[in-house]
């Protein structure tokens, strides 16, 4: 139970935690103003009334049906008064509630300190392939079979390119992203390999943890290949929102004028407006994404020239299932 304000919770929290704030953002600001402008005593008195009312509301709603055996772990910013007050009341009721020592700040220190060490024991298998070859979908099928998968783009809520923003799914904060990666790594078995997609330093606005990147860049690679027609079909399915709103895509394409002639970008925008999707996607792949990806792979993944080849037969679910099965047969799930 994270009893901090909703804005504190949104910035970062223990993965899986539930936000039951004892003070709202507005209430916390009000108490802080009293502390500075009137007196600490007035602030504590007002804060206690607000905290008591909010705890009562949670007990009468979200916690109403919790069984006697429920054992919540409660935390606030530093493990101070907010979590102490809630923990005390829960224990007085009869639940075996515990307060997280040091609060969120102790958790954040653990994430920072643990990440460089957590990545070391694993055998990483990096799925490489040109844009649109289905790397993320292959990871999903691998995970469905029980393989260990670290899908960084899923955790980052971004597809990892200029056009990678997900509709109605804002990216988490950098701290939250790191917490999600930390949580996934803690759940993995070091005796089994971890599959991950080739990434550069950033996924959208987020920075991939440097220690993780270093291990990925030095790991064995698998190259997923697919025909241009298959790649076009997969990209059209993934970016259908651009097909519904071509002007949205045109806004992103304007960012490419630093890399391509204005006349070329304007032609791409015209193709989007007219719905010429297949030739537009093919040109973007051949002229922009494929050269950029090839340069990035060459500079960051020294083992890529020796990568095992994995061909995707089509854009169907059956093709991804077969590709995942083939990969797992060729890459044993146990590490000697």
Per-state percent for the chain, helix, strand, coil, to nearest 5: 55, 10, 35
State yes or no: is 221 an active-site residue: no
What is the rounded distance in angstroms from the CA atom of residue 166 to the CA atom of residue 248? 12
User: How many Å apart are CA 298 and CA 73, to the nearest integer?
Assistant: 47
DSSP of 140-179: HHHHHTT-EEE-HHHHHTB-SSTT-BBTTBPPPPHHHHHH
Query: Positive or negative CA dihedral for 312, 315, 317, 318?
Result: negative
How long, in residues, is the chain?
A: 336
Structure tokens at 281: 């996607």
Instruction: Report the number of secondary-structure helices (H) and strands (E) in the chain.
Output: 16, 9
d(CA 113, CA 127): 27
Pair type for strands 202-203 and 206-207: antiparallel
Residue holding tokens 């089994």? 192
The residue annotated as part of the active site, out of 76, 128, 221, 250, is 76
Nearest alpha-carbon partner for 199 in 182, 217, 186, 211:
217
Asked if residue 296 lies in contact with residue 118, where contact means CB atoms within 8 angstroms, the answer is no
Which residues, including other chains, have CB under 8 Å from residue 152's CB and lie 6 or more apart? 181, 196, 197, 199, 203, 208
**Cα–Cα dist 28/30, whole Å:** 5
User: Nearest Cα to 155, choosing from 116, 111, 207, 110?
Assistant: 207
> Alpha-carbon distance 268 to 292, whole Å?
18
- Residues carrying an active site annotation: 76
């Amino acid at each position: 139970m994270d009893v901090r304000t909703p804005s504190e919770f949104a910035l970062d929290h223990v993965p899986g935690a539930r936000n039951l704030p004892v003070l709202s953002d507005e209430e916390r600001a009000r108490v802080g103003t009293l502390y500075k402008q009137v007196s600490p005593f007035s602030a504590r008195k007002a804060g206690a009334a607000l905290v008591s009312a909010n705890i009562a509301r949670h007990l009468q709603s979200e916690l109403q049906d919790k069984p006697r055996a429920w054992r919540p772990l409660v935390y606030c910013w530093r493990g101070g008064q907010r979590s102490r007050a809630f923990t005390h009341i829960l224990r007085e009721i009869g639940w075996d509630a515990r307060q997280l020592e040091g609060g969120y700040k102790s958790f954040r220190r653990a994430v920072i300190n643990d990440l460089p060490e957590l990545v070391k024991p694993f055998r990483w298998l990096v799925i490489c392939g040109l844009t649109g070859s289905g790397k993320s979908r292959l990871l999903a099928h691998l995970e469905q079979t029980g393989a260990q998968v670290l899908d960084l783009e899923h955790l980052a809520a971004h597809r990892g390119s200029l056009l990678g923003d997900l509709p109605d799914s804002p990216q988490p904060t950098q701290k939250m992203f790191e917490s999600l990666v930390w949580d996934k790594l803690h759940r993995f078995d070091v005796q089994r390999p971890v599959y991950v997609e080739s990434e550069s330093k950033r996924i959208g606005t987020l920075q991939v943890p440097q220690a993780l990147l270093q291990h990925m860049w030095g790991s064995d690679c698998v190259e997923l290949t697919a025909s241009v027609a298959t790649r076009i079909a997969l990209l059209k399915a993934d970016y259908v929102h651009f097909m519904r709103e071509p002007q949205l895509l045109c806004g992103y394409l304007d960012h490419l004028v630093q890399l391509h002639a204005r006349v070329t970008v304007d032609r791409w925008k015209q193709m989007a407006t007219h719905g010429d999707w297949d030739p537009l996607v093919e040109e973007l792949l051949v002229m922009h994404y494929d050269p950029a990806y090839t340069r990035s792979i060459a500079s960051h993944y020294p083992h890529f020239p020796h990568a095992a080849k994995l061909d995707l037969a089509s854009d169907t679910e059956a093709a991804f299932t077969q590709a995942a099965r083939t990969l797992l047969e060729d890459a044993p799930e146990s590490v000697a």
